[in-house]
Amino acid sequence: MQRQIILASQSPRRRELMMMSKLPFTDVNPVCEEVIRKDLPLNEAIAYLAYTKAKTVFDRFPQAAIVGADTIVVLDGEILGKPKDEDDAVRMLRLLSGKEHLVITGVAIISEDETTTFYNETLVEFYELTENEIKEYVKTKEPLDKAGAYGIHARGAFFVKKINGDYYSVMGLPIAQVYKLLQKYL
């Protein structure tokens, strides 16, 4: 049964990935409070946050298939979300320098027939970063709206030594999994 597909996100990267799929979709801003539940394992809590975003949009468009997603960076048990400001971005990049960290992207797809949630975990290792590299990168403003203060798809790619997992999940949406799941709505 063909349904309208809606991406519950205002992320330019998620939009770009959905456009790569060639699936017909629109995007709607999910207006909701983004709180990570402490009563769930972290990976499940991120999937639940994706569900919360999708559900907010589904309540307005119940005949559609809604895709919600959320991404976090975790280093030594500390969640590195979007930096508060440039100083916070510098702090995060110093922490990530020369280390391996985990990127978790949770996804939810909601329709009137079913709800699917899952998460994708990817390990990313950074090269050692110089203080100058960090400060020059932060000056670009690129890291200010990204979990962990870097964009793997742009200048942040120069910091990545290796990746073990789904590159697109680090960008914010494991598009191959999403694409496969959305086929039933076309």
Looking up residue 135, the CATH number of its domain turns out to be: 3.90.950.10
- Closest among 84, 115, 85, 82 to 8, alpha carbons compared: 115
Q: How many domains does the chain have?
A: 1
DSSP-derived secondary structure letter, 141: S
Q: Which two tokens stand for residue 79?
A: 């969640």
Q: pTM value?
A: 0.94
- 186 residues of the chain, pLDDT tens digit each: 688 999 999 999 999 999 999 999 999 999 888 889 999 999 999 999 999 999 999 999 999 999 999 999 999 999 998 999 999 999 999 999 999 999 999 999 999 999 999 999 999 999 999 999 999 999 999 999 999 999 999 999 999 999 999 999 999 999 999 999 999 888
Indicate if 145 belongs to the active site: no
CA 14 – CA 27 distance, rounded (Å): 10
The distance from CA 42 to its chain's CA centroid, rounded to whole angstroms, is 14
What's the pLDDT at 1?
A: 64
Domain that holds residue 129: 5-185
Instruction: Confirm if 115 and 109 have CB atoms less than 8 A apart.
Output: yes
Q: Could you say which of 39, 70, 85, 113 is catalytic?
A: 70
CA 83 – CA 145 distance, rounded (Å): 7
What's the pLDDT at 134?
A: 97
State in Å, rounded, how far the first CA of the chain is from the last one: 7
* Burial per residue of 147-158, b for 16 or more beta-carbon CB atoms within 10 angstroms, e otherwise: bbbbbbbeebee
